[in-house]
Amino acid sequence: MRAWEIMAGVAAGALVAWLALVGVLLVGKPRGGALPEALRLLPDLLRLVGRLAADGTLPSGVRGRLLLLGGYLAMPFDLIPDFVPVLGYADDAIVVAWTLRSVARRVGLPALRRHWPGSDDGFAALCRLLRLPTDGSPLLPAKRSWWVDGALLAGFIALTLALTNEAVLAIDVRVDDWCRAHRPELLYWLARGGNLLGQGTPLAVLALGLAVVLGWRRRSVRPLLPVLAAELLTGVTVLALKLGLHRAPPNNQNGVANPERLFSDPAGQSYPSGHLVVAIVWYGIIALLLAGILREQRRWALRVVPPVILFFTTVYLSFHWLTDSVAGLLLGLLLYRLLMRAPWDSLPLGRRLATSGWARPGLARQR
């Protein structure tokens, strides 16, 4: 593929992404006279974002969301130029309002009130802008959006289709060549140790053991439900994809031609990376089971750190191609989010379990 074709493809992709952003902002912009009000409140909104992000008592997920917003606002250029009608001067206010609404539904209205730097009238205007109650009535729980799930699925499909492109395959080969050329013995053994974090069977046994202990202590079978569902969902999904796409790994132990291609080895099971999928799902399930024991920050680290380590070790050791691990990351996040959607503490389990008392809630609520 020639350089100009690659550049044209990148430019077209960027244009489509920008048009999608404009469309999302148009759909989500405040209705009626709320947009001018948002622009008037913008200085106070920005100070509110800074104060909330600095509050160490808020969940790390909320603070991370606010820091990402700060990064967006700090960009030295506008993603939506000022000459674009309606949105040109209002994109920052719209994004801030979106984020604060999601934060309010997570931490409650009192947290926003405590950090609000403006007047009482300004806070009332903020509540109108975010469509939040001002009469003391409780906030409705936030509905889980399917946008992220759809984006993860679309990314996985797009990456799989892209593996028919020689330029994408060349990236895999070059990354593997670099890893092989920069693999001193010390780093090799450190990576081998880190790679043990992605062993699915020990993680499943650990999660099952935790679920049994919690279930016995809380007299409930419900801690077992996400564990059994995770085993079934990951096992069926990953195995079906690996067998269907049968890609050879970089080590190419069967000596097939062009191992970087899909369908290159009938016995190959490299795509997607099962290490990444099971790590994301099982560490997430373990963090769910420990919600009443570990603090939120430690559970966040438990969910994030092992998959990050595995992403690098699987590629560095030539166990997987780079795109294998990217695909495993996308698929693992998708499966984890699907599992977290299930109301495990309220699923109907039948009259017999209900009358026995073993169907009571058994999972601590995550913040």
Model confidence at 203, in pLDDT bands (50, 70, 90)? very high
Q: What is the pLDDT of residue 316?
A: 95
Q: 91 versus 231: which is more confidently predicted?
A: 231
pLDDT tens per residue across span 346-365: 888 888 888 888 888 888 65
The answer, yes or no, to whether residue 193 has pLDDT greater than 90, is yes
**Percent of the chain clearing pLDDT 70 (strictly above):** 77
The Cα 149–Cα 146 span in angstroms is 5
The pLDDT of residue 89 is above 80:
no
Q: How confident is the model at residue 323, as a pLDDT?
A: 94
Confidence of residue 100 (pLDDT cuts 50, 70, 90): confident
Record the tokens describing residue 334, joined without a space.
Answer: 């998708």
Q: What pLDDT does residue 241 have?
A: 93
Report the mean per-residue pLDDT for the chain.
81
Please indicate whether residue 255 or residue 43 has the higher confidence score (pLDDT): 255
Tens digit of each residue's pLDDT (9 = 90 or more) over 21-59: 455 444 445 554 555 655 666 788 788 888 888 888 888
Q: How far is CA 338 from CA 25, 144, 154, 156, in A?
A: 26, 10, 15, 15
3-state secondary structure string, the chain?
CCHHHHHHHHHHHHHHHHHHHHHHHHHHCCCCCHHHHHHHHHHHHHHHHHHHHCCCCCCHHHHHHHHHHHHHHHCCCCCCCCCCCCCCCCHHHHHHHHHHHHHHHHHCHHHHHHHCCCCHHHHHHHHHHHCCCCCCCCCCCCCCCCHHHHHHHHHHHHHHHHCCCHHHHHHHHHHHHHHHHCCCHHHHHHHHHHHHHHCHHHHHHHHHHHHHHHHHHHCCCCCHHHHHHHHHHHHHHHHHHHHHHCCCCCCCCCCCCCCCCCCCCCCCCCCCCHHHHHHHHHHHHHHHHCCCCCCHHHHHHHHHHHHHHHHHHHHHCCCCCHHHHHHHHHHHHHHHHHHHHCCCCCCCCCHHHHHHCCCCCCCCCCC
* Mean pLDDT value of segment 287-300: 87
**15 token code pair:** 């244009």
In this prediction, residue 10 carries a pLDDT of 47
pLDDT of residue 122: 78
- How large is the average pLDDT for residues 208-221? 92
Is the Cβ–Cβ distance between 334 and 281 less than 8 Å?
no
Q: Which long-range contacts (CB under 8 A, 24 or more apart) does 302-307 make?
A: 306/197, 306/198, 306/279, 307/276, 307/279, 307/280, 307/283, 307/332
Flag whether pLDDT at 293 surpasses 90: no
Q: What is the pLDDT of residues 119-155, one digit of tens each?
A: 887 778 777 777 676 555 555 555 566 778 888 999 9
Banded model confidence at residue 19, pLDDT cuts 50, 70, 90: low
